[in-house]
Amino acid sequence: MTIRFAPSMLVACLAATGANAAGPVIYTTNPIPAVEAVQAVIQEKAGLSTGIITGGSGVLLRRVEAEKAAPQGDVFWSSSANTMGAFKEVLEPYSSPELEAVPKELRVADDYFQPANVHVVTLMVNADQLNGATAPTDWKDLADPAWKGRIILPDPANSSTGYTIVWGLSKLLDGPTYKALVSNLVVSSSSSAVPKGVAMGEYAAGITFETNSYSYVDGGQTEISIVYPSSGTFTTPEYAALIKGAPAGEAARKAIDALLSREAQIELLKVAFRRPSRTDIQVSDYVKLPELASIKVFRIDEEEAARGRDAFLTEWAALPKAGSSK
């Protein structure tokens, strides 16, 4: 059953069947194919049906915060630590047994959040919209005034994707180059509008996670390419978390266990191109993506990004940009 809950959200609930009790409610930022893949694994491994509420990470986390006196959801899935760190007071630590297969460097103190997958920031380029220009190979190429209004990016105030990108760029680039690049950007209120806008030819380039870019390459759009910038790009684990006071109790923990399982992460890789957080899955066995070891990565401090979020977003809001888009 599908019900419109609010303009920016969709509620899609699976009714319990047979002897299964109603399961946990998951607040998620993930696309429908990813959600359905995880729902199926949770049903198979834990015998639980799940209610789903979708929306942007900032919107959903603020909703969890607003509901803290009487929680309505059980699991939040998913966002970056640099965003979730600002909402720790409404989340509950949980050391899932599945974390034994996850590298220690991806885990956070006290297991406040559970690493569900790893994202890589990429440039998504539409060759048909280059108008004779050379395709960018590095971030500094996008600081050229010729790119003004031709690059789309998700709003970092409402999207953990957007926040990861602009925080990383502010650390990797020198000040003038960073500001010049930002001045060329069109900022979208919707993360999903970024790859769609590039795929439909509305923009020549978009800055987004690899998973979003690759879905169009995998879908056969030969004009679309993924660029891993030569000076380095950013990776960020994406986390799930228990909502403090989750009404479903132990069922919510079982849902987290299933989400972190090898079965779920393989399905997410095949269906939604999400790089696993587990070490027992070889990416190239399932999709045509490079192994992470072959990508130049510029390390960013997720804890610093979380601590500095409010001040950074204030500075970001004051920077000139090329425009905004719904």
Q: What is the mean pLDDT of residues 160-164?
A: 89
pLDDT digits (tens, 9 = 90+) for 6-38: 333 444 333 333 233 468 999 999 989 999 999
SS3 sequence, the chain?
CEEEEECCEEEEECCCCCCCCCCCEEEECCCHHHHHHHHHHHHHHHCCCCEEEECCHHHHHHHHHHCCCCCCCCEEEEEEHHHHHHHHHHEECCCCHHHHHCCHHHCCHHHCCEEEEEEEEEEEEEHHHCCCCCCCCCHHHHHCHHHCCCEEEECCCCCHHHHHHHHHHHHHCCHHHHHHHHHCEEEECCCCHHHHHHHCCCCCEEEEEHHHHHHHHHCCCCCEEEECCCCCECEEEEEEEEECCCCCCHHHHHHHHHHHCHHHHHHHHHHHCCEECCCCCCHHHCCCCCCHHHCCECCCCHHHHHHCHHHHHHHHHHCCCCEEEC
With a pLDDT cut of 90, the percent of the chain lying above it is 80
Quick check: 178 pLDDT over 60? yes
* Better-scored residue on pLDDT, 21 or 273: 273
> What pLDDT score does 75 carry?
98
- pLDDT band at residue 209, thresholds of 50, 70 and 90? very high
- pLDDT band at residue 252, thresholds of 50, 70 and 90? very high
pLDDT digits (tens, 9 = 90+) for 94-111: 999 999 999 999 999 999
> What pLDDT score does 306 carry?
86
CB 52 within 8 Å of CB 32: no
Q: What is the mean pLDDT of residues 298-325?
A: 92
As a whole number, the mean pLDDT across the chain is 90
Specify the amino acid at residue 254.
K
- pLDDT band at residue 86, thresholds of 50, 70 and 90? confident
Quick check: 115 pLDDT over 70? yes
Least confident of 11-15, 57-61, 190-194: 11-15
Q: What is the mean pLDDT of residues 195-223?
A: 95
Q: What is the mean pLDDT of residues 165-177?
A: 96
How buried is residue 317: exposed, middle or buried, by Cβ count under 10 Å (0-12/13-18/19+)?
Answer: exposed
Least confident of 1-5, 45-49, 149-153: 1-5
> What pLDDT score does 14 carry?
34
Quick check: 1 pLDDT over 80? no
Bridge partners of 120?
Answer: 235
With a pLDDT cut of 70, the percent of the chain lying above it is 93
Domains of the chain by start residue, with CATH: 2-118+236-291 (3.40.190.10), 119-234+295-325 (3.40.190.10)
